[in-house]
Amino acid sequence: MDNCLFCKIVNGDIPSKKVMENDRVLVFHDIQPAAPVHVLIIPKKHIASMNDVQAEDLELIVDIHKAAQEAAAELGIAKSGYRLINNCGQDGEQTVHHLHYHLLGGARLGALTGISSSHA
Ligand code: AMP
Ligand code: ZN
């Protein structure tokens, strides 16, 4: 899709630090890591958000989970553990409107926090 940052990364128009890819998914390092390991897992197909995932995308969701497993193993965090997060919409603080999952690890991440002080 035109004007989508992550479609541009998929097409190679914007560079990324790739971890792995296949014909359906791409894993690359987040430009502003929030943990020692922070990568993004995206479908190559443009899907704007989790709200737009359709039944026909079921296989893609499995592919994304497989890619998360593979990336975690490759990045050495499979045993120590990790967190997989999808931000959806305004309240979820989604800033890039191409479905993506954050894979975070490499340190104890602490409890999941909800409302941050800046939005409370
Ligand atoms: P979200 O807030 O869930 O929409 O996450 C978007 C993520 O994309 C943020 O963690 C950004 O740091 C990351 N990001 C933005 N631009 C780039 C880029 N060019 N390469 C890698 N990650 C990016
Ligand atoms: Zn896109």
Query: Annotated catalytic, 100?
Result: yes
Distance CA 35, CA 21 (A): 22
Question: Which ligand ends up closest to the CA of 52?
Answer: 2
Ligand 1 pocket, mutate which of 8, 19, 30, 99 (most atoms under 8 A from CB): 30
Ligand 1 touching residue 58 (CB < 6 A): no
| Percent of the chain residues past pLDDT 70, beyond the cut | 97
Ligand 1 touching residue 96 (CB < 6 A): yes
**pTM (whole model) above 0.85:** yes
Work out the angle at residue 102's Cα, subtended by the Cα atoms of residues 87 and 35, and round it to the nearest 5 degrees: 120
Each residue's pLDDT tens digit, 26-81: 999 999 999 999 999 999 999 999 999 999 999 999 999 999 999 999 999 999 99
In 10 A of CB 25, how many CB atoms? 23
